[in-house]
Amino acid sequence: MIGAHFAGLGAAREDVLLGVGDDCALLRVPPGQSLAVSLDTLVAGVHFFPDCDPHALGHKTLAVSLSDLAAMGAEPAWATLALTLPASDPAWLAAFAAGLGELARAHGVRLVGGDTTRGPLTITLQLQGLVPPEAALRRDGACAGDRIWVSGTLGDAALALAELQAGRDPDAALRARLERPTPRVALGRGLRGIASAAIDLSDGLVADLGHVLAASGVGAELRLGALPLGEAVAARADWSLALAGGDDYELCFCAPPGRDGEILALGQRLGCRLTPIGTIRGDDDTLRCLLPDGTVLNPTRRGYDHFAGA
């Protein structure tokens, strides 16, 4: 199974001394680089529908970890994969490996090892990348007066999920935002030296921005009228989709207002929509969400929590 579907998967890399097929992978870390490591687990029935297209699932398995590295400004390099499968299905495995491999090659990632076991469908991928230690983007650098920015649009994946849960089939573009997210790796690299703090949006804007505020010891004010929404999300008039829906895998970052021109030029160069949505405040550590009419919205949902109510 491993030899047929996963040996040699991804990009060829000279820094892989030994990859799939031995007890450990042997990797060469270049001088002057620090190792950025992320690990994500996807569980059938929790993170994806059990009948999800395996090609899309392979893509998303890597995309969610690439998004973590993007938030650190890191360059992706190597991945390890642990697959727990209810059965060995060659057609499913071929499609899954193809989706994973295509995205891996696009971002220069080589699969260098992993594990396979039998059980309920569960996928764990660890991704390693490289970044100069002084250039890494972190959550703890936001300062009073910084602007808050987001990439892309918010709430599309949450709306697609709501449609599927209601038994309706969302349109292809909306569904792709849920099942085939675009990791903003090039944006993360471009924000080195510009952004004061960054995070990827996996659990929802309020929850994830809250992690930045907690790490930095600051508060923030969001202008909800400035949130970048696609037509379908805007038509729903439901702020919770953009604020707490999750699965956006966009970047939220902070930067001094004097860097606005560089940020907008970076977005134009990458063909990536970048939108200022609020300001970091130093007077307290709360997050205020202002509606277009200036009144304060207190979100009833703040983001996805695996253990809510447990």
Residue identified by tokens 């089939």 is 169
Residue stretches of the annotated binding site for substrate: 47, 247, 304
Token couple for 19: 């990859």
Residues 6+ apart with CB under 8 A from 190: 266, 269, 270
- The amino acid sitting at 94 is A
Residue stretches of the annotated binding site for Mg(2+): 23, 38, 40, 68, 115, 200, 203
CA–CA dist 190, 198 (Å, integer): 12
Selection from 151, 143, 142 nearest residue 70 by Cα: 151
CA–CA dist 152, 264 (Å, integer): 13
| 254: β partners | 148, 197
Token couple for 185: 């790796």
Structural element, H or E, at residue 122: strand 122-131
Token couple for 176: 């792709």
Q: Show the beta-strand stretches assigned E in 172-238.
A: 197-200, 219-223
Structural element, H or E, at residue 113: strand 110-118
Which 3-state string (H, E, C) describes 220-242? Answer: EEEEHHHCCCCHHHHHHCCHHHH
Residue stretches of the annotated binding site: 23, 38, 40, 47, 68, 114-115, 139, 200, 202-203, 247, 304
Residues 6+ apart with CB under 8 A from 138: 72, 197, 198, 215
Residue stretches of the annotated binding site for ATP: 114-115, 139, 202
